[in-house]
Structure 1
Amino acid sequence: MAGEAANRGLVLVVEDEPAIADLVRLYLSRDGFGVHVEHDGEAGLAAARRLRPVACVLDIALPGLAGTEVCRRLRQQDNWTPVIFLTARDDEVDRIVGLELGADDYVTKPFSPRELVARVRAVLRRTAGAPAETERPRVAGPVTLDPARRTVTVAGTPIRLTSTEFDLLAHLMSRPGRVFTREELLAAVWGYAAHSGTRTVDVHVAQVRAKLGDAAADVIRTHRGVGYACAG
């Protein structure tokens, strides 16, 4: 049964190791979240559809249906619930594949449960953090980003971004021409900064560029050895 959703909302945890699942449940509950736990991919996917959690914490190596496949199916159904992957593997290929499927963050085992809770809170701040309604849309070439409505269009065509992708683009567009280092983007968008996480920034930038398409190819510019900037 689903735990009672506390004031922060319900988080779905899909983890096949009971000890880890119980630890994650304990720390999320202490922080005010309701928690529902499943132990295999099929049950996790069904729970995500049924319960509509505020976030999903998915182990990648799940029995029956891998966590990456659970995420892929949710995104195919236009379900953009924030997803944080857990994995025992620290393989860069796994990380990249997970993020390309639309995950919002990635935590490698062994991990600090406090850090995981902080990551969940950070992704929810990005999702629910409504800016002032008076904040004007930002424009860069054919791209228009509306912070109040959290929408992006390219030449009038709506583009669907994950919450992390949206906030990354919004941060870059907030100061056109200003070059942000990867560490600065990690701190501002993800809420933490660590050199080991800079590849995460590169993958998300690549995903945003792919979604914006060729018409907006020059909107996000790479400054080799430094970071990224939005066209001024």
Structure 2
Amino acid sequence: MDYNHEHKAGRIGWIRAVVLGANDGIVSTASLIVGIAASQVAPEHLFIVGLAALVAGAMSMAAGEFVSVSSQTDIEHAEISLEQKHIDRNWVAEEKELANIYVERGLEGDLAMQVAKQLMAKDAIGSHVRDELGITEQSQGNPFQAALFSALSFTAGALLPLLTVLVVNGPLLIPSIVIVSLLSLVLLGSVSAKIGGASILKGSLRVLIWGSLAMAVSIAVGNIFQVSG
């Protein structure tokens, strides 16, 4: 019997960064281009607008992810340092605290204390970081990795509507960008759900609905605030 016991938790960090970046790249760039196009701006300006959106968006995503993950890492390090001080100052109390955690999870008192003593004897800070603070290797992020993944995935997503501008002209431009972008979002949602072990239908519908809404609002705004070509 082939029993596959592979978990997906280790993929959460990079899946989140890639999906968020690509989704934002597609939606924001496509929405901006169709909104500008709907306002009757000269067609030759659309590519420059889209390119500017790509560059600015990629840098913004990279900076945002770097700052966010760095802040999380700083907080985790501060918590770990504080916990180490607690252990150094009162070992017995920290053993009891760890044992109480295991009691709440279902162990009997004596067994919980034995487990706490043995775990702390081997790796005191590691035991408290994992079981008290809830910090694990899977939950910790790499700021540089997150920034790189976000920037690259945003760029990949933004290229789809941007290249459509180069291929399609005239009245078919807006419908083409919408169709290409929505199909890309469905594919992105399906692939990310598959990799993460989640529902493909739910993942696809989620990005499809929000992408459609963003582009619809952008087109409406562009039609309201039209300019002369």
Shared fold per TM-score greater than 0.5: no
Higher radius of gyration, 1 or 2: 2
- TM range, smaller chain: under 0.3
| TM-score (normalised: structure 1) | 0.25
When you count helix as a share of all residues, which structure comes out higher?
A: 2
How does the TM-score come out when normalised to structure 2?
0.25
Bigger proportion of residues as strand:
1
